[in-house]
Structure 1
Amino acid sequence: MAKTVKPLTNTQVDKAKPLDKPYTLTDGGGLYLHISKAGTKAWRIDYTTPITRKRVTVTLGQYPEITLAAARQMQTDIKYHLANGDDPRDIKRDEECKQLLESKNTFAMVAEEYMSRKTHIAPSTIKNNYRQMKRLNAYLGIMPITDIKPMDVLEACRSAEAQGYIETAVKMRIKVHYVLTITIISNKNIAD
């Protein structure tokens, strides 16, 4: 018969003090709080992987950044993935890769790569191009390149128009077109 575990309370978690050796406070369902000799409190969960049937321990995060309620929610999410036959570590790894790709695929990053290839032009043109990219980055810089809509470009260009820089606005639109075209060509080459 399985051992019945009384769930932890916020008070128990908060008042857990370090001892001579590391120890754990069990919440049930594989979730527990690991307290180190130094006093660090980390949420961990044990589970069996669906394919290899190996026992795995995963650290969810440290207390108080991860509260008892948040740790229980993470436990529920992990159990959901396990019930669907997925290893939560693989899902987390895939999500991290996706976020890394998106962070490197912002307008600012792609535009910087585009600008670095423009070495055969006059220094004054390079200076003007960087000034236009700086204006564009204020509006589009942190956006993933795939999320940029025509209205976003229009808003960036209108900001230059509002200051009386009509020709700059036109050049900004052209620069966005070049950057987006390079992205489309690169993605097509990757797909082929």
Structure 2
Amino acid sequence: MARIIKPLSPLQIKNAKPKEKPYKLFDGSGLYMEVTPIGSKLWRMKIRIDNRERLLSFGKYPDVSLEQARARRDEARKQKAAGIDPGEAKKRQKREKAEKAANTFEKIAREWHSNRLETWQPNTARDILQRLEKDIFPEIGNLPVSSITHKQLIDTLRKIESRGAHEIAKRLKANCARIFSYAIQHGLTDRNIANDLTEVLKPVRKGHFASITTEELPAFLKAMNQNDARLYMPTRIALRLMLLLFLRTSELIETPWSEINLETGEWVIPWNRMKRGKLAMNPDKTDHHVCMSKQALTLLRELHSLTGGSKWLFPNQRDPQKPMSNGAILMAIRRMGYQNQMTGHGFRALAMSTIKEKLHYRHEVVDRQLAHAQKNKVDSAYDRAMFLDERKKMMQDWADYLDELQASKI
């Protein structure tokens, strides 16, 4: 007959003194306290698994109270009844806890970033990592990804907002959501807390690139002429070509002379230099035909006499091996007195609205000259086949309109 063991009392445990040799105070059902010669009071449990006696450790008193030790004993008995080895279960939990601690947000974020590198342009990849390193990692980077709370992420994002960087906070929230999704798919957490934050950040009002209106065009042309003496000759030509051709700034200033035939007046920009051609995933491989007016061709021939010995239409003044920087166009606009009123991209918006309003060309024709994305390959092929002649006429009409406007208003 099994010996009946009287459960321990808190007073017994408190009054237990060390002896020369370790001794045990039994509580029943395999649980006991071992008192060591140095006075440590350790919770132990003997349990038989597969006909073998196992010793479980539940911690040290008073860190683990009598009630907690009994709860752990009861849990071990339930595990045994369910066919689970409590010792192995404890080791597994310890391993999982260590893995969670090792899988910090920064570690997972860098894995996600490395995994996505092939889908981004180098500049995009660099910017994403730099933003994480500056704003996110110092706040929550060392925390296990599974332990981060809504409040911790909210506090991190609001700190970014507090300096007025609302758009950056919004983008970082989106990237954090992608990182948490990556962690979920790898079994490292079970909730995407960034996706839950739908009403936390202040809404960001989307703006447009600064651009003058059609009504302001005569004054802009006058300012352009008045400031010619203050501008480097290639920069003056670049401004006029931006107005005549309304290309994206990079598409103009990064042009090599090899793309242009000054004899025939043909200019074809290879697809991989176009905005959508630079996409890492599914790039648009359509070359862009730049339809030019006589005025634009005359400017290019004048430019060739200045920079024709260089690779670039607009070589950088400090390093001729590189093209002119975007900042040169913005600086020229600033010198004209149009800071925050006009941008390089503003020439495109100005041309779109004015050509449709004053010259009455269809939106599709102007849109194709702007090299906007086409819905599908059929649309793209149709545009090339049907719009090229119309675009050539439109670009000449646009140049003539600007000349007439300048002659009558200035």
TM-score, reference length from structure 2: 0.37
Is the 1:20–1:37 contact (alpha carbons within 8 Å) kept by the matching residues of 2? yes
Matched position secondary structure for 1:86: coil
In structure 1, the residue matched to 2:52 is 54
Instruction: Please tell me whether residue 130 in structure 1 is matched to residue 133 in structure 2.
Output: yes
Structure 1 vs Structure 2 CA RMSD:
3.6
CA distance in 2, matches of 1:167, 1:135: 19
Q: Which moved more, 1:40-49 or 1:167-176?
A: 167-176
Distance 1:66 1:157, change over 3 A: closer
Unaligned residue ranges in structure 1 (runs of 5+): none
Instruction: Please tell me whether residue 34 in structure 1 is matched to residue 34 in structure 2.
Output: yes
Is the 2:45–2:73 contact (alpha carbons within 8 Å) kept by the matching residues of 1? yes
- Give the superposition deviation at 1:65: 0.9
In structure 1, the residue matched to 2:99 is 101
Distance 1:157 1:81, change over 3 A: same
Distance 1:187 1:29, change over 3 A: closer
Letter in 2 for 1:78: A
In structure 2, the residue matched to 1:15 is 15
Matched position secondary structure for 2:26: strand
Measured against aligned partners, the alpha-carbon deviations of 1:18-64 in whole angstroms (never above 9, x if no partner) come to 11111111111111111111111101110101xx2101111211111
Is the 1:132–1:168 contact (alpha carbons within 8 Å) kept by the matching residues of 2? no
- Greater strand share, 1 or 2? 1
Q: Which moved more, 1:126-135 or 1:66-75?
A: 126-135
Measured against aligned partners, the alpha-carbon deviations of 1:56-87 in whole angstroms (never above 9, x if no partner) come to 11121111111111111111111111111211
Identity %: 25
In structure 1, the residue matched to 2:71 is 73
Letter in 2 for 1:101: E
In structure 1, the residue matched to 2:80 is 82
Matched position secondary structure for 1:78: helix
In structure 2, the residue matched to 1:24 is 24
- Give the superposition deviation at 1:17: 0.6
Letter in 2 for 1:187: H
Distance 1:22 1:169, change over 3 A: same
- Give the superposition deviation at 1:115: 6.8
Unaligned residue ranges in structure 2 (runs of 5+): 188-410
Measured against aligned partners, the alpha-carbon deviations of 1:79-117 in whole angstroms (never above 9, x if no partner) come to 111111211112212222222232233423312556789
Is the 1:153–1:176 contact (alpha carbons within 8 Å) kept by the matching residues of 2? no
Distance 1:16 1:116, change over 3 A: farther
Letter in 1 for 2:76: I
Distance 1:9 1:158, change over 3 A: closer
In structure 2, the residue matched to 1:187 is 186
Is the 1:33–1:44 contact (alpha carbons within 8 Å) kept by the matching residues of 2? yes
Distance 1:148 1:187, change over 3 A: farther
Q: Which moved more, 1:96-105 or 1:17-26?
A: 96-105
Is the 1:40–1:62 contact (alpha carbons within 8 Å) kept by the matching residues of 2? yes
Q: 1:144 aligns with which of 125, 143, 146?
A: 146
Matched position secondary structure for 1:44: strand
Measured against aligned partners, the alpha-carbon deviations of 1:159-178 in whole angstroms (never above 9, x if no partner) come to 42343113422442454366
Distance 1:14 1:101, change over 3 A: same
CA distance in 2, matches of 1:28, 1:154: 49
Aligned length: 180
TM-score, reference length from structure 1: 0.73
CA distance in 2, matches of 1:14, 1:163: 56
Runs of 4+ in structure 1 over 6 Å off: 115-118, 151-155
CA distance in 2, matches of 1:4, 1:79: 18
